[in-house]
Amino acid sequence: MISTLLVANRGEIACRVFRTCRERGIRTVAVHSDADENALHTRVADASVRLPGAAPADTYLRGDLIVKAALAAGADAVHPGYGFLSENAGFARAVQDAGLVWIGPPPDAIEAMASKTRAKRLMGIRPRTEVTEITEADLPVLVKAAAGGGGRGMRVVRRLADLDAELAAARAEAAAAFGDGEVFVEPYVENGRHVEVQILADTHGTVWTLGTRDCSLQRRHQKVIEEAPAPSLADGLERELHALAVRAARAVDYVGAGTVEFLVADGKANFLEMNTRLQVEHPVTEAVFGLDLVAEQIRVAEGHALEAGPPHARGHAIEARLYAEDPSRDWSPQTGRLHRFSVPEPVRLDTGYTDGDTIGVHYDPMLAKVVAHAPTRAEALRKLASALERAAIHGPVTNRALLVRSLRHPEFLAARMDTGFYDRHLPELTEPSPDPHAPLAAALAQAVGRSRFGGWRNLPSQPQTRRYLMGGEEHEARYHHTRQGLEADGVRVVHAAPHLVVLELDGAQRRFEVSRYGDQVYVNTTALTALPRFPDPATQHAPGSLLAPMPGTVVRVADGLTAGTPVKAGDPLLWLEAMKMQHKITAPATGTLSELCVIPGQQVDPGALLAVVTET
């Protein structure tokens, strides 16, 4: 029986595993980098051990340090979570060699399936590792990292001239994220569905298939919305998917929880890979089958046998990944203080953050997973969209609005989605739309600003004005102090206090919660930024200036790029690495590079000047 368990991971998954451990009476140990010293997963664990440094290569990818930490803390088991070392056979062996229980499949099974190229050969598929074989007739192709997942080390190539550069970028990203730069190339299917099968196997020869999941809504080949069961699958196709998943598990004598992934196109199942770990999206399967997969992982590791068959599936579950990122700006990750974070019940929230935490630059920008379960798909969609819409998220920009619009999009509602969903619909999903509170929000913000002191005048005066940035657009609030109180743009302020405002419009009164953090104002879920009356000269930049969209490290500058180099609009100039992803910075116009302000290896803050292009 396991008594103390260390999670070799961080953030949301560490907190999620600790929750099951507490329910089962198991003591918990966290490991943390210097950047995570005060992270939520370190605060909720019974004990924590420092891994010196901040970069994953120095901390969460150091298996030797993690094994040493487990022994020092008195742990008798290690759970790898997902990502980092979760699919590293060498780490699994090191854990077992130290006399610790490994909460995962046998190292040999990990080794057989951790490399996508080996996994494909095991399933009778020949991967293309010789990129010199690629011709124009093969395009488009997908460059893919052999190790790891999460969309890192993946690039779509549509022009043969881009192949070498994309291969280099994919290798660099894969090496940084997984410590393995091997890549391969496969045909890119434009409009397939990403469908997967959850498996669970014990040491007594029983293998469960726990239904299907659809994970087709993806950005940068990383999943955004997942659901179980995968809707609109033909019975014959679903049986085939289950049979192939069992075949993959038995081929490597699998034990524990795992996932077999497929690309479904034209009614056919194409094997992609097997993930020898718990998936990010496992909560939707838990909701449908009434299981705790982490508890089952622990039971299997302790030698318990599964029942002859899994429980019956009930209802439908949908999960949305809430990211600190701006979808309208090429999904750029966001950092900063998360002042308030609250999602209303009755949905499940798996997160590694709470009020007051800081979202840093070193790790994945996912804030949380929000999961809704209901008797039908339509009810689950409505419940999840409503919960996200009403969530209080005060801090960096998130993809919350994109998630709500995606869940309500006619194509998704009709279950006609595929992996090209965001390629087709991103502009319409990110364009500014009328906010239901927009006519009131500026009045609200001004009401709170004026609530603590009087401003009534005996004589009529011109309206006073304040400017706010809301939804990427500038709004001007005009307000009067009258005998009846404060009025703004025809809206009467009935009550104004620092955190509550009551407004009257056309005879109807509405109540609003208001929060202020410096020049940031949140009115219910509407965010406003108070603008200064006069622009700060220090923030002005020359036309054509390229500013860092996020904090990060300059990892590469385009070959031969110096001041005076002619450039074309869209040409890549340099690459920033932030949150384990590389982000390409391109020329905003055709012209001449008049200034290059950074060098490889340089750390930059958001808004830092990277380069200046003078347009011709």
pLDDT of amino acid 230? 98
The residue assigned the tokens 């999460």 is 150
pLDDT tens digits for range 413-468 = 999 999 999 999 999 999 876 655 555 655 565 555 554 434 444 445 567 777 78
More confident site: 342 or 584: 342
pLDDT tens digits for range 139-161 = 888 888 877 666 777 888 988 88
CA distance linking residue 245 with residue 77, whole number of Å:
28
Q: Which run of H or of E encompasses 404?
A: helix 400-407
| pLDDT beyond 80 at 194 | yes
| pLDDT beyond 80 at 587 | yes
CA distance linking residue 344 with residue 6, whole number of Å:
31
Mean pLDDT for all residues in the chain: 89
Q: Which amino acid is residue 195, in one-letter code?
A: V
Do residues 613 and 591 touch, judged by C-beta distance below 8 A? yes
Domains and CATH numbers, the chain: 4-103 (3.40.50.20), 119-187 (3.30.1490.20), 193-430 (3.30.470.20), 438-530 (3.30.700.40), 540-615 (2.40.50.100)
pLDDT of amino acid 452? 42
Do residues 407 and 374 touch, judged by C-beta distance below 8 A? no
Average pLDDT over residues 589-610: 89
pLDDT tens digits for range 217-239 = 999 889 999 999 999 999 999 99
Q: Which amino acid is residue 473, in one-letter code?
A: E
Average pLDDT over residues 560-564: 89
Q: Which of 219, 277, 405, 492 is catalytic?
A: 277
Report the DSSP pairing between strands 526-530 and 155-157: unpaired
Tell me whether residue 277 is one of the annotated catalytic residues. Answer: yes
pTM comes to 0.85
pLDDT of amino acid 489? 65
pLDDT tens digits for range 473-506 = 777 777 777 766 677 667 788 888 888 888 888 8
3-state secondary structure of 124: coil
The percent of residues in the chain predicted with pLDDT above 70, rounded, is 90
| pLDDT beyond 60 at 115 | yes
**pLDDT confidence tier of residue 129, bands split at 50, 70 and 90:** low
Cβ burial, residue 456 (10 Å; 0-12/13-18/19+): exposed
CA distance linking residue 340 with residue 350, whole number of Å:
16
pLDDT of amino acid 408? 98
Length of the chain measured in residues: 616
More confident site: 549 or 47: 47
| pLDDT beyond 80 at 539 | no
More confident site: 57 or 616: 57
Do residues 178 and 144 touch, judged by C-beta distance below 8 A? no
pLDDT of amino acid 454? 44
pLDDT of amino acid 456? 44
CA distance linking residue 400 with residue 524, whole number of Å:
14
Average pLDDT over residues 278-303: 98
Nearest to 170 by CA among 299, 360, 180, 224: 180
Residue 529 backbone phi and psi in degrees, to 5 = -120, 120
| pLDDT beyond 50 at 50 | yes
